[in-house]
């Protein structure tokens, strides 16, 4: 059994290495602490460390900003992010990928690895919007318009949090949509619309906001919408558990919250 486990861990390490998106800064020290400890406090006095954070694709832009801000206020720390669909991140954790913290776009995904993490903290919330080609040439005004069979609609795959939320709100309104494709993460949905390969897609409000010159966003009323929650937690197998826990605490604190909310995320 040892050899297959070793091969799985080696494969996971190669996978995450290929996905890593580095940010500028450097650090070479690390700290050890129980990852199950409460993430409250201690962020300002966190030890320097090289952290790898697995994060939901919808956090790509804001976490690059947050990572740079954290490194600036915590000399000696370097944060490297790996962005993907939450279901992919969970699979990496289960395969033993070397990482320090996990942030998903739904609580169900985080619950799937509760034995591998400390206590999660919800750091932000989000809502869905309809992303359309710039200028909204198809005149899409509301959710039910997506049921028009003449439209090319793209959705996130059902196993992806954004796909689950999309399915939930469409089913609740009894709207049948036959997507031209189902993407592995919400950023891929946004990209399809940006490139004109789809007339519309369901994405998070913050995704549409990140591409104001490429897509238009059609709001979905709260009564027809779903709230996405983003839990964050340090991983128990982290070699830098104290620093990872401190980063999660910082995301939930005033500076991290300002960056998240400036990017359009809602308060947790």
Query: Domain locations in the chain?
Result: 2-124+228-262, 127-227
pLDDT single digits (tens) 208-222 = 999 999 999 999 999
Give pLDDT tens digits for 132-169: 999 999 999 999 999 999 999 999 999 999 999 999 99
**Which pLDDT score is estimated for 22?**
41
**Is residue 153 within a helix (H) or strand (E), and if so which, with residue range?**
strand 153-156
Mean pLDDT, the chain, whole residue set = 87
Domain 127-227 sits in which CATH superfamily? Periplasmic binding protein-like II (3.40.190.10)
CA–CA distance, 202 with 217 (Å, rounded to integer): 10
Q: Can you give the pLDDT at residue 207? A: 96
Q: How far apart are CA 51 and CA 45, in angstroms?
A: 16
Helix (H, G, I), strand (E, B) or coil at 149: coil
- Tell which residue, 262, 152, 144, has the closest CA to residue 196: 152
Q: What is the DSSP letter of 48?
A: P
39 pLDDT tier (thresholds 50, 70, 90): very low
Least-confidence region, from 35-49, 107-121, 174-188, 247-261: 35-49
Q: Which residue in 49, 104, 55 sits closest to 75, CA to CA?
A: 49
What average pLDDT does this structure show over 34-60? 70
CATH fold label, 2-124+228-262: D-Maltodextrin-Binding Protein; domain 2 (3.40.190)
Contact (Cβ atoms closer than 8 angstroms) between residue 199 and residue 132: yes
* Cα–Cα distance for residue pair 184/159, rounded to 1 Å: 8
Percent of the chain's residues with pLDDT above 90: 82
Whether the predicted pLDDT of 60 surpasses 50: yes
Task: DSSP letter for 251, please.
Answer: H
Fold match, 2-124+228-262 / 127-227: yes
Reported as a single tens digit per residue, the pLDDT across 190-205 is 999 999 999 999 999 9
pLDDT tens track for 84-96: 999 999 999 999 9
């Amino acid at each position: 059994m040892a050899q297959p486990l070793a091969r799985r861990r080696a494969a996971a390490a190669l996978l995450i290495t290929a996905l890593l998106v580095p940010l500028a800064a450097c650090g070479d020290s690390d700290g050890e602490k129980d990852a199950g400890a409460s993430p409250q406090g201690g962020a300002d006095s966190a030890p320097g460390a090289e952290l790898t954070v697995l994060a939901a694709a919808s956090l790509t832009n804001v976490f690059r900003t947050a990572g740079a801000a954290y490194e600036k206020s915590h000399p000696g720390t370097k944060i490297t992010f790996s962005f993907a669909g939450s279901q992919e991140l969970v699979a990496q954790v289960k395969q033993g990928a070397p990482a320090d913290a996990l942030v998903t776009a739904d609580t169900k995904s985080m619950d799937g690895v509760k034995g591998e993490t400390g206590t999660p903290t919800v750091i932000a919330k989000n809502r869905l919007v309809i992303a359309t080609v710039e200028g909204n040439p198809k005149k899409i005004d509301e959710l039910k318009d997506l049921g028009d069979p003449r439209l090319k609609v793209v959705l996130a795959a059902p196993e992806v949090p954004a796909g689950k939320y999309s399915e939930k709100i469409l089913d609740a309104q009894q709207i049948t949509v036959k997507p031209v494709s189902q993407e592995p993460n919400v950023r891929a949905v946004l990209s399809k619309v940006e490139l004109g390969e789809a007339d519309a897609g369901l994405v998070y409000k913050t995704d549409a906001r990140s591409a104001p010159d490429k897509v238009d966003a059609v709001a979905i009323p709260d009564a027809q919408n779903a709230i996405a929650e983003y839990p964050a937690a340090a991983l128990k197998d982290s070699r830098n558990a104290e620093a990872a826990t401190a980063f999660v605490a910082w995301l939930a604190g005033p500076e991290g919250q300002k960056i998240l909310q400036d990017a359009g995320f809602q308060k947790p």
